[in-house]
Structure formats: structure tokens, C-alpha cells
Amino acid sequence: MKKMIIKNANELVTCSGFKAKSGSEMSELNIIKNGAVVIEDGIIKAVGTTSDILKEYDEANYEVIDATNKAVLPGFVDPHTHFVFGGYRAEEFSWRLKGENYMEIMKRGGGILSSVKMTKEATEEELYESGLKRLDSMLSFGVTTVEGKSGYGLDFDTEIKQLETMKKLGKVHPIDIVSTFLGAHAVPKEYKGNEDAFIDYVIDEVMPTVVEKELAEFCDIFCEKSVFSVEQSRKLLTKAKEMGLKLKLHADEIVQLGGAELSAELGAISADHLLQASDEGLALMAEKGIVATLLPGTAFSLKADYARGRYMIDNGLSVALATDLNPGSCFTESIPLIFALATLYMKLTTEEAINAFTINAAASLDRADSIGSIDVGKKADIIVLEFPSYKFIPYHIGVSTVEKVVKNGNLVFDKLRGGRI
Ligand code: NIG
Ligand code: FE
């Protein structure tokens, strides 16, 4: 197995920690000046200053990356995406530019339901090929772990097809994929007005196979006015938990429905979106240690008010960031765009945003013990920037500053060698 030393990092930004950072802890990046990392068997073996490390480890025995004048950070974790889908909704985007409303488009059978139609029509090969391209693009932005959801099937065959596609992609692509079952993402036409029966269908007919075939680790639901109520969400998520799935929610995105409160009641790992979350709901999340995963790209794309990131951190929450890559409300895998929006519009500091996209994003996937920071014993998922400081990440607006990506101790992307290796 390959052995690697990354040395001379102008800033080695470790984000050190094994659990979510909350409140003021989110300002702490634990930077080692002139730092080095030793990697063996895909795992971080030692972290320190370059002079200390090279006294103990003979670099002649290692593949060496010289990060002189560069910043080195943990790989980014994107903890909320819908990256496997058929077809596109460029037309819908142009309708929205002319003033049409996202939820209204969905109510008349467009929106998510049009992606459902196109995903049903797509072959597994088509889903696989487009998924692969999106993963390559994510890798170029420094993403080393991504969460992906089903939810463009809504029926047994297509939900399973989406999840199996993700499983296959995880086997061939360097990015680790964490799968979430989102069988209740929208109400299919044939169940309109009969949402309770659809929830029962998902619980009785789809979820058992998802669990049995180990196709997902999390269960999620779109808890929203005109989609699934708090009661329906409680029912589905309670069953999911009984069946061994961990919980996530699309909560309080468009209307303040009580999704944040429900996430605390059920002990979810994260509640996501939260644009409209109540003070009480957020306080309960802070108390229970539920990660608030914020998706500023979606607010931007829907021209909605941003989630109250600054307020959440000031009130002791653990905030994570994600792209929400999907074909409708936010068609982007751009990590730098999300950094720009989180810092300029949600008022996070650069340090908070970096923790939100590394250790807290890992916690949002229940993986803070194994990824999300440069700590001994964790997976060697590490990025090298083209610039000397992490401060360039939001400053170079909308442009990727990532030069190299090391995944499980292997160099898998290098801009200087033309990209994907
Ligand atoms: O996270 N809000 C619900 N689900 C997705 C959007 C999916 C879509 O429009 O296709 C989201 O924004
Ligand atoms: Fe989403």
C-alpha cells in the first residue's frame, strides 16, 4: 500500500475534532504553520510541523507532495445532494426567471414530478453515466465524500434503481457515497389527495427492501406544506428508525411547519434547509445536538431568504453546509459558490464555513469519527489548494482553488496534471 508525506504546507488546516463543532467552536480551525501529514494504508498516521515530522519519518520511503506556499485542508464533505437523476429542467428554470413559483410548478405536475418521470424513463446505464460525470466534477471541487438521495422514483422499481446506481458508482469512483432513501420526496399523481396511503406504500412496499439490500444508511422526507405533513413525516421516520435507518429531514424550507422540532423529537442526525425554522425549533435542535445542514445555493436559486446561519451559530447550533445539487431548485455542485453565499449572505466567517463543509458535514453524515478533519486515525482525504491560505476559498469568488485531491491516501486529482488521475 502506498505511503505518502505531504510536507511544507504553509497552512495545515486540520479542523481537528471527532464530533460536530457547535457555536463558538466553529471558529477554531487548528492550523499548523509549515505543517506535514504522514499517510500509510490510506489512513493519517502523523500530523505536525514539517521539521518534527521529517525528524521521525524518512521521506525517502514515501511518495512526497511538496505543499510549499499552499494551504492543505481536509477534503470537503457534501452532505446533501440529489445527484442521481434523469433528464433536466432548464425550461423550468427559465419559467422561474419569468416569475413562476417553484411550488406552483410542482403542484401542476412539474418540478420534482417531471424529474420523476424522466428518471423512470432513464436506463440504469444512463443514470450511471450521468452520475459518474457529476462525481468527477465534484472531485474537481475537492469533495471526497458525498451524500446522495433517491426520491426521483417514488415507486419501488425506480427508487431501487436509483439507490443501486449509487451503490455501483461508489464501487468505481474515488468519492465515497453515503446513500439516503427519500421515497417520500413528493406525492405521485396517482396518490394526490391520498397522501396517507402513499406513506403506507413507502413504509410497507419499498422501505423493507431498501433495508434488506442495505441500499441506504439514512431515510429522509420532504416535510412541507402541500407535500408531507409533520404527522406523516413522524410516521414514516419512526418506522425508518425502527428498521435501522438514521434520520434526516427536508425541514421548514418554504413554510414554517415544525420540521426542526420534529428532527429534535425523533433524534435525527440532521435537519436540512431550515429557511423558515422557528427559534424554538432551533433551540431544541441545539439541545439535542442535531446538525443544521444549510443549503444557501437553493435559497439563491429560488430567490428566497437565506437560512439564519449567523443566528444558529450564535445560538449554539452545529451548522453544516451542502450544495443540494439537484435538477430543480439548485443545479450546482459548485463548492466555491456555496462558500461565497454562506459567507457573504448567511454571514458565516470563513473559518465557520470551512468547519461547516468538513467536520460538521461529516457529523451530518454521522462520520465525524472517521472523516472531516486531518487527525491521526482518520481516512487520508486531503486537499491541497493553489493558494497559501484557506482565506482564498471564499475570496476567489465562485472559482475552485483546489489543486490536488488525495483520497484514501491516493492522489486522485491534480490540476497540474490535467485533472482526474
Ligand atoms: O432539496 N425541496 C425538496 N427537494 C429538493 C429539490 C428537488 C427538486 O426540485 O428536484 C431540495 O431542494
Ligand atoms: Fe434536497
Q: How far is the CA of 45 from the centre of ligand 2 (A)?
A: 36
- The Å distance, Cα 247 to ligand 2 centre, comes to 14
Query: Is the Cβ atom of 326 under 6 angstroms away from ligand 1?
Result: yes
Nearest-CA residue for atom 12 of ligand 1: 329
Mean pLDDT of 93-99: 95
Read off the pLDDT of each residue in 97-112 and give the average, rounded to a whole number. 92
Question: Could you report the per-residue pLDDT of 218-229, keeping only the tens digit for each?
Answer: 999 999 999 999
What's the CATH code, domain 77-363? 3.20.20.140
Tens-digit pLDDT profile for residues 21-70: 999 999 999 999 999 999 999 999 999 999 999 999 999 999 999 999 99
- Select from 82, 116, 331 the residue to mutate for testing ligand 1; criterion: most ligand atoms less than 8 Å from CB: 82
Mean pLDDT value across residues 360-367:
99
pLDDT at 304 over 90: yes
The answer, yes or no, to whether any atom of ligand 1 lies below 6 A from the CB of 180, is: no
Nearest CA to ligand 1 atom 5: 329
pLDDT of residue 2: 81
Predicted confidence at residue 1, as pLDDT, reads: 55
Task: Please indicate whether residue 324, judged by its CB atom, sits closer than 6 Å to ligand 1.
Answer: yes
Q: Give per-residue pLDDT as tens, 140-159.
A: 999 999 999 999 999 999 99
Q: For 3-75+370-420, CATH number?
A: 2.30.40.10
Ligand with minimal distance to 149 CA:
2
Mean pLDDT for 320-331 is: 98
Ligand 1 contact via 302 beta carbon (within 6 Å): no
Give 87 Cα–ligand 1 centroid separation in angstroms: 15
**CA-253 nearest atom, ligand 1:** 2
Q: Where are the domains of the chain?
A: 3-75+370-420, 77-363
pLDDT of residue 107: 87
Mutate to test the pocket of ligand 1, among 226, 330, 338 (most ligand atoms within 8 A of CB): 330
Mean pLDDT of 290-319: 98
The confidence score (pLDDT) of residue 109 equals 84
Mean pLDDT score of the chain: 98
> Which of 207, 134, 214 is CA-nearest to residue 179?
214
Q: Is the pLDDT of residue 114 over 90?
A: yes
Q: Is the CB of 119 under 6 A from ligand 1?
A: no
State pLDDT tens for residues 210-267: 999 999 999 999 999 999 999 999 999 999 999 999 999 999 999 999 999 999 999 9
Ligand 1 mean position to 326 CA, how many Å? 7
Residue reference for cell 405536475: 109
